[in-house]
Structure 1
Amino acid sequence: MGLSGSGDMAQSQLSSPALAGVWREILFGSLGIWLAAASAAAINHLLDQRIDALMARTSHRPLPTGSLSSKQVLVFAIVLGALSMGLLAVFVNALCAVLTFASLIGYAIIYTGYLKRATPQNIVIGGLAGAAPPALGWVAITDQLHPYALLLVLIIFVWTPPHFWALAIFRRDDYARAMIPMLPVTHGVEYTRWQILFFTVLLVLVTMLPVITGMSGVFYLGGALVLGFVFLYYAIRLMRPPSEAFAMQVFGYSIWYLMALFAFLLIDHWLMPAPEMSAQALEFIRSGN
């Protein structure tokens, strides 16, 4: 969460010659978003402690092992959340604080507390909260919710299902044991593989939108196409995987994919800054914010 938020701060501002004017927003925005992410993770651990104890992947976490008490985790989450909101409201802007708080509630309470246990479409519906950091980073710098920021949110939103369902295929027995209705548990592995392929194709198409809208140029286009075709290769091969563990290879690649995609986007912005964005950045800095 903090990583993609910080990356989008760079995307929205680092090409500006007046970079020094926004170091406060970059520093406290990154710190505030990171603290919110840590608070959300702590609440997630608190609400999922029964589930975590039943799953091999999460049974080593502090609450299932007894390393921390529920009270300690709750206090930790509240303190980090309060620090996050305070830093963002005082040193960044109110809009960023409000949106970050909404994202925290969306992930920690709505997704973890309800959607995760209620529907096999949990990560699709709840994915919006997890996809919010680019918008948070953008708003931290500009104090406005630009359509380009929403486009980056859309990329992460579409990326989330193939990313997480690959893990869910490999860990489906864990989810079944914990009675979590993940898609491979409720609809089977074959259906989930088709859904991964569908969302991967959709992801490749969505990642072309920054080029179509003029947000980025040919450097990003080349990187997005190569990364996307490799992701498609993994998704297609997952239909008839060479081994049970291949789903984890898809999961692992999806993580590298997103980091590399945003790196291409950022480097492209440095190489060919969009005139509209630079003008907005300069106007924002001159306003004294």
Structure 2
Amino acid sequence: MMSEATVPMTPLWRDYLELTKPRVVALMIVTALIGMCMAVPGWVPWQPLVLGNLGIALCAGAAAAINHIVDERIDLQMARTQTRPVATGRISQRDAILFATALALLGVWILVMWVNVLTAVLTVASLIGYAFIYTMFLKRATPQNIVIGGLAGAAPPLLGWTAVTGEVHGHALLLVLIIFAWTPPHFWALAIHRREEYATVGIPMLPVTHGVRFTALHILLYTIIMFLITLMPFATHMSGIIYLVGAVVLGVIFLYWSVEIMRGRNEHAPMKTFKYSITYLLVLFIVMLVDHWVLGLMI
């Protein structure tokens, strides 16, 4: 652990904000918001829009804080995580646990009181899946950790949908399926770039256990699967031609980067793929939403 003299003097509120992984939570809330908007033909009612997203965000932040707590030892040994608040001691394990508990309880209370019980139950299930089943067990147990554990991270569109409608719908599950298929190529690209660090801390990521070439092949295969799944909203009449064009263009670019990783001639391809994958998901869902509203105006 860093000595007191080397611990960065960061304002405390920023340390607690960092515990919640705000960038990750922001992407999750965007996908939850898309789920809400896709669930209704017009504007989303203010209560699920504001309080639903707040409750989901608080629970997601709690899950992220638990990840910091559980991965303290690992974080200290990895370059991209060694300055995290719990790892450096800026926030103690006890305080981080209290913070995560408070966020989770407040988030669930908001969802139960002002949204609906179904959304609260599914949000808690997602929190348990990511913070405990994935972080505490799967992450250290199998190179398929990202594939199995990805379901928890894919839940936000479903949570957004149920927050508005109070029911699980096939179209909401299709949104979950898109993120579920997107997760392995997204994260394995980063894992290739960080494979030496994962090996050092004993995390059995696919590039560590099976090598870069094997992982690159799986990134390409999962990208193809993801590309085909992203065509399903058009095939099921959930979305129209605007979405189809956007999904094809974005998907072809993703396939290009997957092939670049497979070729192995560009050492920067894994990180470029990882960064593009974040843009890809965000833009894909925005295009889906634009298409939804355009179709709504035409009907």
Q: How does the TM-score come out when normalised to structure 1?
A: 0.92
**CA distance in 2 between partners of 1:232 and 1:274 (Å):** 33
**CA distance in 2 between partners of 1:30 and 1:6 (Å):** 7
- 2:31 matched to which residue of 1? 4
- The 1:166–1:274 alpha-carbon spacing in structure 2 relative to 1, beyond 3 Å, is farther
**CA distance in 1 between partners of 2:81 and 2:155 (Å):** 25
Alignment of 1:1-289 (within 5 A): 1-13=28-40, 15-16=41-42, 19=43, 22-273=45-296
Query: Deviation digits for residues 224-261 of structure 1, max 9, x if unmatched?
Result: 00000000001011112443232100000000000010
Opposite residue 192 of structure 2, the aligned amino acid is: I
Q: Percent identity?
A: 54
Q: Is 2:78–2:197's contact at 8 Å kept on the other side of the alignment?
A: yes
Using the TM superposition, give the Cα deviation of residue 274 of structure 1 relative to its aligned residue in structure 2, in angstroms. Answer: 9.8
**CA distance in 2 between partners of 1:133 and 1:100 (Å):** 8
**CA distance in 2 between partners of 1:274 and 1:157 (Å):** 30
**CA distance in 2 between partners of 1:25 and 1:250 (Å):** 34
Opposite residue 35 of structure 1, the aligned amino acid is: L
Task: Classify the secondary structure of the residue corresponding to 1:214.
Answer: coil
**CA distance in 1 between partners of 2:260 and 2:114 (Å):** 48
Q: How does the TM-score come out when normalised to structure 2?
A: 0.89
Q: Is 1:7–1:262's contact at 8 Å kept on the other side of the alignment?
A: yes
Aligned-residue CA RMSD in angstroms? 1.4
**CA distance in 1 between partners of 2:151 and 2:269 (Å):** 27
- 2:15 matched to which residue of 1? none
**CA distance in 1 between partners of 2:48 and 2:194 (Å):** 40
Q: Is 2:260–2:266's contact at 8 Å kept on the other side of the alignment?
A: no
- The 1:274–1:103 alpha-carbon spacing in structure 2 relative to 1, beyond 3 Å, is farther
Using the TM superposition, give the Cα deviation of residue 84 of structure 1 relative to its aligned residue in structure 2, in angstroms. Answer: 0.4
Opposite residue 49 of structure 1, the aligned amino acid is: E
Q: Which runs of 5+ in 2 are unaligned?
A: 1-27
Q: Which runs of 5+ in 1 are unaligned?
A: 279-289
Query: Deviation digits for residues 166-209 of structure 1, max 9, x if unmatched?
Result: 00000001100110000000000000000000000111100000
Opposite residue 129 of structure 1, the aligned amino acid is: A
**CA distance in 2 between partners of 1:273 and 1:229 (Å):** 28
Task: Classify the secondary structure of the residue corresponding to 2:281.
Answer: helix
Q: Is 1:2–1:37's contact at 8 Å kept on the other side of the alignment?
A: no
Query: 75-84 or 232-241, which moves further after superposition?
Result: 232-241
Query: Deviation digits for residues 203-225 of structure 1, max 9, x if unmatched?
Result: 11000000010100000000000
What is the aligned length?
272
Query: Deviation digits for residues 54-94 of structure 1, max 9, x if unmatched?
Result: 11111110011111100110000000000000000000000
